[in-house]
Amino acid sequence: MTLNNKTIAFIGAGNMAEALIRGLIKAGIFSPQRIIATDVRADRLDFFRQNFGVRVTDNNVTAVAEANIVVLAVKPQHVSAVLAGVRGKMSADKLIISIAAGVPTARIESELAPKNSGVDGKARVVRVMPNTPALAGAGASALAKGTHATEEDLGTAEAILGAVGITVRVEERFMDAVTALSGSGPAYVFYTTEAMIKAGVTAGLDEALAKKLAIQTVYGAAKLLVESGESPELLRRKVTSPGGTTEAALKVMSERKLMGIFAEAVKAAEKRSRELSES
């Protein structure tokens, strides 16, 4: 799919917008001249102009008016104000890709089509739940289309998010579960890595050494998972010799019901995501 003749505007120039813009330019999906970034922070706009050569502005209306695709990349609490400000320029021929966590497509559609607004109420919205590894080009993004978005719109969103990792399509009703698993998931890995480092220090290792070994182990294990194509269970069994050190460690984790702890944690995150989307 070619998007070279399209213009894309990022409303909000935060970390995820930075990751996407870097990925899009690197992949040749958009030229810098066809990318617009907006933000209220002058330093961020300077950063984007100097590092990526994209067009920048603090005027959302101007950016939306020129764009074919609008990426809503602001914090959830700012969505309503942003949509109110650009409503008059957000015609139905524009595709809206929202990476605002917990904001349903129905809400965006509704807020872009109030009574007497002149908008026909058919905003094409694709909701995306990305995660922070997108900053390293290794993200996982789940996409769900709104009422009026088309299969082509989903394909366009996949091409854009695919510049920074993998994409999957889901029904929007599963977005809370996705948020709990892959959206919050990097923090679970980071927390586990913290625990490994602290455990190494407790066992007598220097902290710098423990950190180096733990981080490389997590990286290497993830790389092996991806490149081998084998299941986590099978890889775990391969490294677990009967009566060996790994088995001793895993026995403790099993006795402490680590699997159950993860299940409860993801369930709690899903519940909170649902609460936030309903607020």
Residue-wise pLDDT for 93-133, tens only, equals 999 999 998 999 999 999 987 655 454 568 999 999 999 99
**In angstroms, rounded to a whole number, what is the distance separating the alpha carbons of residues 107 and 146?**
10
Q: Which of 14, 35, 13, 12 is nearest to 160 (CA)?
A: 35
Q: Residue 11: which residues within 8 A CB-CB, separation 6 or more? A: 38, 60, 63, 64, 70, 71, 72, 73, 74, 82, 86
Question: pLDDT (tens digit, 9 = 90+) per residue, 185-208?
Answer: 999 999 999 999 999 999 999 999
Q: Could you state, in order of their start, the residue ranges of all structural domains in the chain?
A: 8-174, 185-278
Provide the CATH topology of domain 8-174.
Rossmann fold (3.40.50)
| Residues 107 and 78: beta-carbon distance below 8 Å | no
108, 72 contact by CB (below 8 A)? yes
CATH for the stretch 185-278: 1.10.3730.10
Structure tokens at 97: 């890709």
